[in-house]
Amino acid sequence: MDNLNKLLEPNLNGFDSDPFGYSSLAWHKWGMVQTVAGFPVDITQPPTSKDLKSPVLWLSQTQALSQAAINVLLKEPDLSALPKPIQSVCHSQYFAVGLMLVGYSLESCLKAMLIMKKGIDGYTSDEKKHKHHRLEELAEYIPDLTSKDKAILKALTHFVYWAGR
């Protein structure tokens, strides 16, 4: 069991040695976590659409996106390799990417909340209605959103669609 727990811990060396392989292990790790919790998953098989609608999995993605956004937004980029006029363009694009990550994080969270509210089957039957990035629409079920809240959601939607372009 100790070896399994070790496999389930974050491993920066794993990323360093194989960034693509390590980054694609989330489904396998999620399957192992479920199996350890008493809900066996065959990780030799690809996940089904229903498997991928676990709100815990979506909220884990929300956290990953949020952490990435924090790291981008709190760090000044080194743009010294670029000519001065292009540095300004890239600087704006850099922070647009940070806002895009915030928007994706919020989208993932809102969809997880919809899955919790409607259940997997209910969400699946309405899924086509939610295959977009319009955060204000995705948040319609949240009571008492102010006009300011809606304006922020609308602004973040812009960055989800257009960041860096």
Query: What average pLDDT is seen over the chain?
Result: 91
pLDDT at residue 162 in the model: 81
pLDDT > 90 in the chain, percent: 75
Closest C-alpha to 7, from 35, 39, 27, 32? 32
Is pLDDT of 11 > 90? no
Q: What secondary structure, in 3-state letters, does 81-146 show?
A: CCCHHHHHHHHHHHHHHHHHHHHHHHHHHHHHHHHHHHHHHHHHHCHHHHCCCCHHHHCCCCCCCC
Is pLDDT of 6 > 80? no
Q: How confident is the model at residue 137 (pLDDT cuts 50, 70, 90)?
A: very high
Cβ 69 vs Cβ 37: under 8 Å: no
Is pLDDT of 38 > 60? yes
| C-alpha radius of gyration, the chain, whole number | 19
Q: How confident is the model at residue 165 (pLDDT cuts 50, 70, 90)?
A: low
75-132 pLDDT, tens digit per residue, is 999 999 999 999 999 999 999 999 999 999 999 999 999 999 999 999 999 888 877 8
Average pLDDT of the segment spanning 27-39: 91
pLDDT at residue 1 in the model: 62
